[in-house]
Amino acid sequence: MSGKDLNLLRNKIDKIDKDILKLIQKRANIAIEVGDIKNKTNPGKTLYKPERESSILRNILKSNEGPVSDERIRVIYKELISACLSLEEGLKVGYLGPEGTHSEAAVLDHFGSKINRIPNQTIDDVFYQVLNKEIDLGVVPVENSTEGVINTTLNCLADNKDIFIGGEIFLNINHQLAASKKLDIKNAIAIASHPQALGQCNKWIDRNIGSIKRLEMSSSAEAAKYAKQNSNILCIVNSLAVSKYKLKVIKKNIQDYSENKTRFLVIGREKVSKTGNDKTSMLIQTENNPGALLGVLAPFDEKKINLSKIETRPSRDNANSHDFFIDCEGHQSDRKLKIVINKIKDSGAYVRLLGSYPEFL
């Protein structure tokens, strides 16, 4: 290829970039108009609509013919939607802090970078701020593929009847071993992180470091801060924390399982409309009798509704009852799911819908 051919191709890219910019600004102006209409018709309510965003992304990905992958197209459009939404309102999203946690990474993945990220000290604080309208939405971890469910999140969902699940996020969890400076792991006196992260890397630690002291921190970001201040301490953190706290990576991707994922929930005060690709979460409470679980599951089987999650435990407010946290396909407004819910209620069980929301893309 000659220099002339290369310049010709570059000129084509320059023209396309200008066309893209014009279309982005055109889209932004329309988004502002939409925001004005929403503010007039529904004053005081957030302009963020997860069902609309899900529809946009599904339609775009359906039209994608490459060579850019669906995953990268999704990232581009998340940022575009985030930038346009920021022109309509300053969306405030709370998460389990401090800065640099996996929860913040989940917020960035789902909402893009152009929203106001509000770190909270605890999961309870995130629920409290949503309930009291101090933030618009919250993002909280609910389960990890290696370590299991986050009981605090389930407790908060059970206790807050005016908060609904409005979305879900699945985040690949890649743990980095880091320190304040280059450090031979043989010279480290301890390794710090959140208990979940330590558990997810336990086999790697045993195999490569041995019986080093493990320091449990309230978050991996706190571990990053601690390691930054103590040169002989290792920490297990994500890439976001490595960047934020200017750490040195000692070893990449030390998680025990390559398919390590954490599921996060988006919580808010408003219910989400049907999209056609939905999931519903519910809390079902039954008496602690033989066959209680079978009675709960039978209606789902009859209507061929798939379940993606069942978590059971003794009820905290009734010693003679069990709570079942269930995720199933479909929206709570679907006729089939309504029939199932009514049958479960008719059996004497208590049912509370925690939210219907778009399935994760």
3-state helix/strand/coil string of 220-264: HHHHHHHHHHCCCEEEEECHHHHHHCCCEEEECCCCCCCCCEEEE
Amino acid residing at 32:
I
Q: What is the pLDDT of residues 90-130, one digit of tens each?
A: 789 999 888 888 899 999 999 988 889 999 989 999 999 99
CB 218 within 8 A of CB 152: no
What SS3 class is residue 126?
Answer: helix
pLDDT over 90 at 26, yes or no: yes
Close Cβ partners of 189 (under 8 Å, ≥ 6 residues apart): 212, 213, 232, 233
Taking residues 217-223, report their average pLDDT: 88
Q: Find the mean pLDDT for residues 139-155.
A: 89
pLDDT tier, 278 (very low <50, low <70, confident <90, very high otherwise): very high
Element of type H or E holding 95: strand 92-96
The whole-number pLDDT of residue 1 equals 62
Q: How far apart are the C-alpha atoms of 132 and 92, rounded to whole Å?
A: 13
Give φ, ψ of 266 to 5 degrees: -95, 125
Is residue 313 over pLDDT 90?
A: no
Residues 221 and 100 sit within 8 Å (Cβ to Cβ) = yes
Average pLDDT for residues 45-74, to the nearest whole number?
Answer: 89
Q: Is pLDDT at 259 greater than 80 in this prediction?
A: yes
User: Residue 147's pLDDT is what?
Assistant: 78
Tell me which amino acid residue 28 is.
A
Sheet of strand 350-358, all strands in order from the earlier edge strand to the far edge: 307-314, 321-329, 278-287, 350-358
Question: Do 265 and 168 meet the contact criterion of CB atoms below 8 Å apart?
Answer: yes
Contact 164, 269 (CB under 8 A): yes
Q: What is the mean pLDDT of residues 57-69?
A: 92
Share of the chain above pLDDT 70, in %: 99
String of b and e for 210-244 (b: at least 16 CB within 10 Å)? eebebbebebbbbbbbbbbebeebbbbbbbbbbeb
d(CA 251, CA 204): 11
- Phi and psi at 236, nearest 5°, equal -110, 115
Tell me the percentage of the chain whose pLDDT exceeds 90: 65
Q: Quick one: angle between helices 151-159 and 123-131, nearest 10?
A: 20
pLDDT at 289: 78
Task: Please state the pTM of the whole predicted model.
Answer: 0.84
pLDDT of residue 321: 85
pLDDT at 287: 84
Torsional sign, CA 39, 44, 50, 51: negative
The structural domains of the chain, ordered by start, are: 1-90 (1.20.59.10), 92-173+260-270 (3.40.190.10), 179-255 (3.40.190.10), 272-358 (3.30.70.260)
Tokens for 14, please give them.
């320059």
| The pLDDT of residue 257 | 87
For residue 98, the model assigns a pLDDT of 85
Mean pLDDT (the chain, rounded): 91
Q: What is the band of 146 on the pLDDT scale with cuts at 50, 70, 90?
A: confident
The whole-number pLDDT of residue 246 equals 94
Q: pLDDT-based confidence at 14, cuts 50/70/90? A: very high
Confidence of residue 315 (pLDDT cuts 50, 70, 90): confident
For residue 237, is pLDDT > 80? yes
Q: Return d(Cα 108, Cα 90) in angstroms, integer.
A: 15
Structure tokens at 100: 């640099």
Q: Which of 80, 72, 37, 32 minimizes the C-alpha distance to 56?
A: 80
Which residues, 6+ apart, have CB-to-CB distance to 177 below 8 Å?
A: 185, 191, 234, 235, 236, 249, 250, 251, 252, 254
DSSP 3-state of 73: helix
Contact indicator for 144, 103 with CB cutoff of 8 Å: no
